[in-house]
Amino acid sequence: MAKVANKLAKQHPAFKSQGICNLTTLPAAKVQGFLAETPPQDIWGIGSRWATKLEKMGIRSALDLSQVEPAWLRQHFNTEEPRYHPSATVRLLEPTHDTLILSKAALRGLERIYRAGYRYQKAGVMLLNLQPRSQRQLGLFDEPGSRPPPQRDQLLDIMDRINREMGRDTLWIAA
């Protein structure tokens, strides 16, 4: 679903201007309409070979695929093990652009959903309630004009610049 939302945010006229599509806030009929417009090959994990096979079986959209029994899919597509597709929402105390805080929040979410015995390959992260840094609302006990130490912003800016200039994942958060 995250990949469908991402594609809609980038390409669909209803979301393109904002660049954000939160499927969880839309009526079910609207989500089903978007799934009906999404071909199977646009779903993460479905390659061209599987898409062709699905097409021959009459499955022409993500909506069609969502209505198929999982046992039938395992039987016809030799999926090796049951999948576990949990999700978690981690609320932050205040808005932030700090990669270190966001990474810690992502790890807290992972700790909540982790289940032994399943292979984990990828994770998607959806950011909600985005706002410009200039519109930061103070907390109840914050002093007007209080800001994080400038060294933190400098560190984050340096990490971003190095990764931009030397390639993605040159520097990353290790702990």
pTM: 0.48
Q: What is the pLDDT of residue 162?
A: 94
pLDDT per residue over 13-70, tens digit each? Answer: 888 778 888 888 888 898 899 899 889 888 877 888 888 999 999 999 999 998 998 8
- Residues 66 and 32: their CA atoms lie apart, in Å, by 10
- Taking a C-beta distance cutoff of 8 angstroms, is the pair 20, 11 a contact? no
143-151: list long-range contacts, CB under 8 Å, 24+ apart: 148/98
- Residues 88 and 164: their CA atoms lie apart, in Å, by 29
Would you list the DSSP string of 105-164?
HHHHHHHHH--TTS----------S---GGGPPPPTTPPTT----HHHHHHHHHHHHHHH
- Cα angle at 148 between 20 and 128, to 5 degrees? 15
Q: List the chain domain ranges.
A: 2-77, 86-131+146-175
- Taking a C-beta distance cutoff of 8 angstroms, is the pair 106, 90 a contact? yes
pLDDT per residue over 113-159, tens digit each? Answer: 888 877 776 677 777 877 777 777 777 777 776 666 788 889 989 99
- The whole-number average pLDDT for the span 63-90 is 80
- Crossing angle of helices 99-113 and 150-166, in 10° steps, is 80
